[in-house]
Every structure is written in structure tokens, then in C-alpha cells.
Amino acid sequence: MRQPGEKYAEAGIPRRISYLIDPQGRIHRCYDVEGSGADLASHAEELLAEIRAAG
């Protein structure tokens, strides 16, 4: 399990980068979870909020 402040690679977890793709197939936003300091649960909520706002 990754500890707060511990980098993903140090915990043996691949780095997570997610992309939000718009209806035209273009990258609308890129999310670097490790770079932002977010955990995966808050990352999912952030991504869902962005999708709802764009809808």
C-alpha cells in the first residue's frame, strides 16, 4: 500500500496518467495523479466532476 507522500514507483505501483477525451477525439485534459498529489479516489471524483461540468 502506498503511504501519503510516497511516490508510486517507490510503492511498486505504476504511475497513473489519465486523459479526458472530448467528443471530437481531442485530449481535453491530462491528469497526472502522482504529480498532483491526489489519491486514486479523489482523482476519480475530480474526473467525474469535470465530465459532469462539460456535459
pLDDT of residue 37: 67
pLDDT of residue 1: 72
pLDDT of residue 35: 67
Alpha-carbon span 21 to 32, nearest angstrom: 15
Show the domain range for 33: 9-54
Place of cell 486514486: 40
Kindly state whether residue 1 falls inside one of the protein's structural domains. Answer: no
Q: Which residues contact 32 (CB under 8 A, 6 or more apart)?
A: 15, 16, 17
pLDDT in tens, 1-55: 777 777 767 777 777 788 989 889 999 888 887 766 667 778 888 888 988 988 7
Alpha-carbon span 47 to 29, nearest angstrom: 10
Kindly state whether residue 24 falls inside one of the protein's structural domains. Answer: yes
pLDDT of residue 24: 92
Question: What's the domain count of the chain?
Answer: 1
Kindly state whether residue 4 falls inside one of the protein's structural domains. Answer: no
**Contact assessment for residue 29 and residue 17, using Cβ atoms and an 8 Å cutoff:** no
- DSSP labels, 4-21: TT--TGGGT----EEEEE
